[in-house]
Homo-oligomer: A and B are copies of this chain.
Amino acid sequence: MKAVEQLRSPLRVFEKLESEVRSYCRSFPTVFTHARDYKLWDAEGREYIDFFAGAGALNYGHNNPKIKEKLIEYLMNDGVTHSLDMATAAKENFLKRFYHVILKPRGLHYKVMFPGPTGTNSVESALKLARKVTGRDTVISFTNAFHGMTLGSLAVTGNKFKRKGAGIPLNNSISMPFDNYLGDEADTVNYIERFLEDNGSGVSLPAAIILETVQAEGGINAASFQWLQRIEEICRRWNILLIVDDVQMGCGRTGPFFSFEPAGIQPDIVCLSKSIGGYGLPMALTLIKPEFDVWEPGEHNGTFRGNNLGFVAAAQALSYWENESFSEEIKAKGERVRVFLEKLVRQHPEMEGEVRGRGLIQGIAVGKDGLAEKICAAAFERGLIMETSGANSEVVKLLPPLTIDEAGLNKGLQILEDSIKWCKKGH
């Protein structure tokens, strides 16, 4: 019976040929074919609203038309596609655009490193560099942090299941409590400070502190700006490098281009990926304060550092940041989402819900075991793609493209409400 069923499954090819490790295709069991902005369509022509946005890689929507145009033009002209870390006109253009549109107006001084095309490449390069600069071994990371799946990044990631996947002990990292981890009354920075001040604490002076300003995978935990400032002070006091992993929160997810801007802090190293490639193309940057750019040539490398389609798309995507309007728009949409979610939580107290997040990374932490997953499954049935986050999949996460229009946002929120109601009925 099961075999017959599988043969008829739309995913039968994947079930037969792809590894068991596949994951999201189990939550969203259909074969997608087309996409545009906040919409996806599957092979049967069904339309979906996307509140997942490639886990933050599609801030500018699927197949953004202006970027697409540039890509096709570049392809047709036989622009260099793959260039390792050789100089190309596309890379040069991106570097100049990034400098003029992003760094200079914000008064930020960073050298740009292309560490390979994914977030974990960027994190690994940041950790290496911090250790080289300081000559120290350990790195402080936070509870419920997510920084990547390669061994260096995994060592600073909190999730037990992912960590266990390493198959060996993950070392040279120390997990400290994130903002609010111990409840409202306890300031976790005091805790960290106590360990660093005390010569008998068993915690050595770290090379770096690495953090996300909002932990998306970890359950949408948003650090307060004051907490971020205090962490920065700690870094300054002990000459610890501050690494902000803005892979998911950067590129406008919380409103400003860098998520740390409103906190007024200046990280020593910034990791960018996901939406930096504009069109969902693999690309990553590591931004380094010039005084810490002590790499030897080639000390870190990688085959796909020079994905020029990424550079072309990224350069075009930066147009969104030439003035304040895009950022304002995100904030307004975020406000809209906040109000809606607060209302849902009030109207459905049995969810034991708590609204979390900032900008267009928001969600509801659901107190009832397993309910968050049911809501997301119900939403998918209704044409909304949305995933849970948190170590126990306890948070319903809304992560729409930043470019989503009002109609799309409303429709998605409506489906969310319907799904909650449907679950409430005991389905």
Contacts and interface: CB of A to CB of B under 8 A. Distances in A.
Interface string A16-36: 011111111110111111111
B391 A202 contact: no
**Interface size of A as a range:** 35 or more
Interface stretch (A54-62, A328-336, A356-364, A367-375): A54-62
A162 B161 CA distance: 30
Interface string A282-326: 100010100001111111111110010100000000000000000
A405 B196 CA distance: 43
A247 to B, nearest CB: 8
A66 to B, nearest CB: 13
A33 B88 contact: yes
A146 to B, nearest CB: 9
Contact of A169 (B21, B86, B138): B138
A120 B121 CA distance: 9
Contacts of A195: 143, 175
Contacts of A19: 111-113, 286, 288, 293, 295
Contact of A54 (B84, B119, B124, B218): B84
A391 B24 CA distance: 42
Contact of A294 (B20, B158, B301): B20
Nearest to A92: B13
A62 B80 contact: yes
Nearest to A63: B78
Interface in A103-157: 111-114, 116-121, 124-125, 127-128, 130-132, 137-138, 141-145, 148-153, 155-157
B77 A34 contact: yes
A203 B158 CA distance: 7
Interface stretch (A255-263, A273-281, A346-354): A273-281
A89 B18 contact: no
Give the interface centre of A120, A150, A390 by most chain B CB atoms within 10 Å.
A150
Give the interface centre of A68, A163, A280, A296 by most chain B CB atoms within 10 Å.
A280
A99 interface: yes
B80 A160 contact: no
A120 B116 contact: yes
A87 B14 contact: yes
A4 interface: no
Contacts of A303: 54-57, 118-119, 247, 273-274
A186 interface: yes
A45 interface: no
Interface string A157-190: 1111111111111011111010001100010001
5 contacts: A28-B87, A43-B89, A120-B302, A143-B202, A165-B300
Given A150-B153, A162-B301, A164-B204, 4 more contacts: A20-B111, A68-B76, A175-B195, A282-B282
